[in-house]
Amino acid sequence: MNPLFERPLAIVDLETTGADPHRDRITEVAIVRVEGGVEVERWSSLVDPEMPIPRRIQEFTGISNEMVAGAPNFRALADEIAQRLAGAVFVAHNARFDYNFLRAAFAQRQIAFDPPVLCTVKLSRALYPEHARHGLDAIVERHGYAVENRHRAMTDADLVWQFMQEAAGLFDHDRLLLALRRAGSEGAAVPRLPEGDLEALPEAPGVYLLFGAGGQLLQCGRSNHLRSKVLGLFTGRGDAKSVKLSAQVRRVETEFTAGDLDSQLRELALLRRHVPEKHPSRSLGWRFIPNRRRPPVLEECELHGSDPCEWGDVFGTFRGQREADNTLRELVLLHRLCPQRVGLENGRGACQAYGLKRCDGVCVDAERPEIHDARLLRALASLAPRAWPWAGPVAIAELHEESGRAATHVFDQWCHLGTARDEAALEGLLSEAPSRKFDLEIARLLQRWLMQPGHAMAVRPLPQRVV
């Protein structure tokens, strides 16, 4: 594995109202998530800073007060951003700037934020010492990257991602490892565990749980190389997070798995067992109510545990109310929809968006409901649940040859029907005709896994009659 990509990365860029994290506020955030050297997710959002954006900043970033009006504030996005950053190295160009802004913003929500950090300005200096300038503009010019909308968050995050990919291909392992030591912050102390715990850790795929003296779960994670992963949590430069973890850990539990997908499914199950409040089992969607004169014309429907084949016309799959509402607000802003009619506002008469000239006036009879709703349906079409790529159920087999551990996972319509450890268990699983029960976290987990190179080739379609 290339040293740059041994751990998950969250490549982050922020746009702000200024340079002081205690006085200024975030106006846009972008995150490119990289796992195993492959981009698995990209996400961005405008953020209402709840303060005017100075004109010089508007001209510099292209983000105006009008653009952020109606966007979610950071409080509404904090949990989602924290979840997207979880378990990853925080990567940014001039990382201190972005890190300090997020740390200050998270502190207002009392959310702990202390990830390992990789600054790509420092990485560039370490890899290209012959150059004097290492700002993003200098890197763009030096490497000839094509750029549109410079100083927008996703554009700049993508430039950092391009730079890292190029560096990974140009420099050898030892050179990259040395550059990483100069550019990042890592953990440092070896945990004081009971004798034999570290030696017992397997160098194989699996999941690990770190417990404190009182039996409380401190951390749960997964790796294809458990021993290296757990030791790597504590070895490095000695940042505050690693020192604190080292002092607390008293017991390590591990479970062998057959491969990466097996590990991810077990990790989710363990997290739900030990910290269910942080991993709620809920997912929401919307249904459009046709020919309805009075608002709202959208109704929420609970999707968790249901059969996707029985959904009908459902739009969106969301972790909860906040994610659903934030997505709907974006659609309202982009498509001049009425917040009252879609259910984001209560009351009668003109909605707030109409007063700001962002609604075409269905709320005051200035637009016919059928015209508004046709536009709403076109907007919702982009949120149609991802189609299942196969005609019926599929099996995904994993085998770790050294340990001999095997697992066959059966899925249908993004639902996990079960995992069998041998042929007899698989035969029993298929003969019992398990029902489809939708779980959004598992669906997204599987979708990310299938995006990895070569993974789709491991999928074996099953006869539709067996499930």
Give pLDDT, residue 235. Answer: 54
The residue assigned the tokens 């390992």 is 116
Q: Which member of 93, 134, 151, 409 is catalytic?
A: 151
Give pLDDT, residue 198. Answer: 52
The residue assigned the tokens 């912050």 is 185
3-183 folds as Nucleotidyltransferase; domain 5 (3.30.420)
Residues 49/9, Cβ–Cβ less than 8 Å: no
| Helix or strand holding residue 386 (H, E) | none
User: Model-level pTM?
Assistant: 0.56
pLDDT tens-digit map of 8-65: 999 999 999 987 777 789 999 999 999 999 999 999 999 999 999 998 889 888 999 9
Q: What percent of the chain has pLDDT over 90?
A: 60
Which of 87, 103, 137, 101 has its CA nearest to residue 15? Answer: 101
151 is catalytic: yes
Average pLDDT over every residue of 405-426: 93
Give pLDDT, residue 186. Answer: 44
Average pLDDT over every residue of 430-437: 86
Under 8 Å CB-to-CB from 258, ≥6 apart: which residues?
Answer: 205, 398, 399, 400, 405, 406, 407
Give pLDDT, residue 236. Answer: 45
Residue type, 200: A
Average pLDDT over every residue of 236-249: 67
Per-residue confidence at 184, pLDDT binned at 50, 70, 90?
low
Q: Is the pLDDT of residue 423 over 70?
A: yes
Mean pLDDT taken over the chain: 88
**Domain boundaries for CATH 3.40.1440.10 within the chain:** 187-256
Per-residue confidence at 401, pLDDT binned at 50, 70, 90?
confident
Whole-number Å distance between alpha carbons of 72 and 48: 6
As a CATH number, domain 187-256 is 3.40.1440.10
